[in-house]
């Protein structure tokens, strides 16, 4: 039973930002992006991704520049991206910094070390090297030249309207 008919901390309709509402209506695949360059393993849940096929396959990521991962992804940095699947919601929350992980974030999930950084086993995976970065809105646009792509068939985890959903 609740004493509120609606969420007590929800943003009132007149204060909602239209672009945020639009972005929330676009289903986005969920990845954990990781690197181990520097002094430690770091990872972050990322759903702002755009893949580009061509002579040089690329992915563009939008990352919080103040995140530990954002601070590490300099030009020349190698990174690994693992696509999440249904059942990985807790893992996504851990790497987004929204759920606890006693022992550290990399104790959640089954990880394998690669030359690009840690990756989740039995997941679609791609890896590459950061070739550029620039400020874009409140985010940092990270351009990555992909050097490796492995696809695992099956449903994926997506972010839609503030929730995780399964897409087949």
pLDDT of residue 29 exceeding 60, the answer is yes
Give the residues across from 111 on adjacent strands.
Answer: 120
What is the C-alpha separation between 32 and 29, in angstroms, rounded?
10
- Residue 37 or residue 167, greater confidence: 167
Half-sphere exposure in the Cβ direction for 17 (13 Å, CA): 4
> Buried b vs exposed e over 91-120: b needs ≥16 C-beta within 10 Å?
bbbbbbeeeebeeebbebbebeeeebbbbb
What is the C-alpha separation between 44 and 49, in angstroms, rounded?
13
Residue positions counted in the chain: 168
Span 22-27, average pLDDT: 89
State the pLDDT confidence band at 4, using cuts at 50, 70 and 90. Answer: low
Give the residues across from 156 on adjacent strands.
Answer: 167
Its pTM stands at 0.89
The proportion of the chain whose per-residue pLDDT surpasses 90, expressed as a percent, equals 82
Q: Go through the domains of the chain in sequence order and give each one's CATH number.
A: 32-152 (2.30.110.10)
């Amino acid at each position: 039973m609740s004493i509120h008919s609606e969420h007590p901390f929800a943003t009132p309709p007149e204060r909602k930002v239209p672009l945020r509402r639009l972005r929330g209506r676009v289903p986005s695949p969920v990845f954990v992006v990781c690197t181990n360059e520097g002094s430690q393993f770091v990872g972050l849940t990322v759903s702002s991704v755009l893949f580009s096929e061509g002579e040089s396959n690329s992915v563009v990521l939008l990352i919080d520049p103040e995140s530990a991962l954002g601070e590490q992804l300099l030009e020349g940095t190698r990174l690994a991206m693992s696509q999440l699947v249904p059942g990985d919601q807790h893992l996504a929350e851990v790497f987004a910094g929204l759920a606890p992980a006693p022992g550290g974030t990399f104790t959640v999930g089954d990880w394998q070390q690669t030359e690009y950084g840690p990756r989740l086993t039995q997941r679609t995976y791609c890896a590459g090297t950061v070739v550029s970065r620039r400020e874009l809105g409140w985010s940092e646009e990270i351009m990555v030249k992909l050097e490796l792509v492995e696809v695992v068939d099956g449903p994926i985890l997506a972010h839609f309207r503030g929730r995780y959903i399964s897409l087949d």
